[in-house]
Amino acid sequence: MLLVEDEINQLSQIARSIKRNHLHAEVEIVDCAKEGCWQADIIVLAISFHAIKEVIEKISEVATQKIVLFISNEYDKSNATELQHLLPHSRIVTALFDSFSGETFIESNDEEASETISKMINTAVISR
């Protein structure tokens, strides 16, 4: 797992937690979004949608044909549409985590990408 953040110190605790809970996990932290996304097979954007354009400017060149997962706790169909417009050559998947019901809702126009993300989330939930 490659974690990307401008402020690396913020991710240190997350990386330690992942390694503690998953002994065989390989976790690396980088501070360059473009470099990190270049190496990634799946890009997970767990940021507020109003901050997304800045990140997309950094990664658009290296996100081509990759799955880009946007995680949110508020459903807004226009966010997925805007994200697909900003990254037209990426495979956009949105995931909504409903903290009330504990369910995860996944949406994508790309069935294969949606299935990949569903399997990834189910594996993460099962291994907890």
pLDDT at 93: 93
**Local confidence band at 128 (pLDDT 50, 70, 90 cut-offs):** low
23, exposed or middle or buried, with CB in 10 Å at 0-12, 13-18, 19+?
Answer: exposed
Q: What architecture is the 42-126 domain classified under in CATH? A: 3-Layer(aba) Sandwich (3.40)
* Every domain range in the chain assigned CATH 3.40.50.720: 42-126
Residue 18 is which amino acid? I
H-run or E-run covering 91: strand 91-98
The tokens describing 42, both together, are 């799946």
Q: Within 10 Å of residue 4's Cβ, how many Cβ atoms?
A: 23
pLDDT at 11: 76
Q: Is 108 a residue whose pLDDT tops 60?
A: yes
Q: pLDDT averaged over the chain? A: 83
**Local confidence band at 127 (pLDDT 50, 70, 90 cut-offs):** low
Residue 30 is which amino acid? V
Query: Dmax of the chain from CA atoms?
Result: 39
**Local confidence band at 126 (pLDDT 50, 70, 90 cut-offs):** low
75-102 pLDDT, tens digit per residue, is: 677 888 899 999 999 999 998 877 788 7
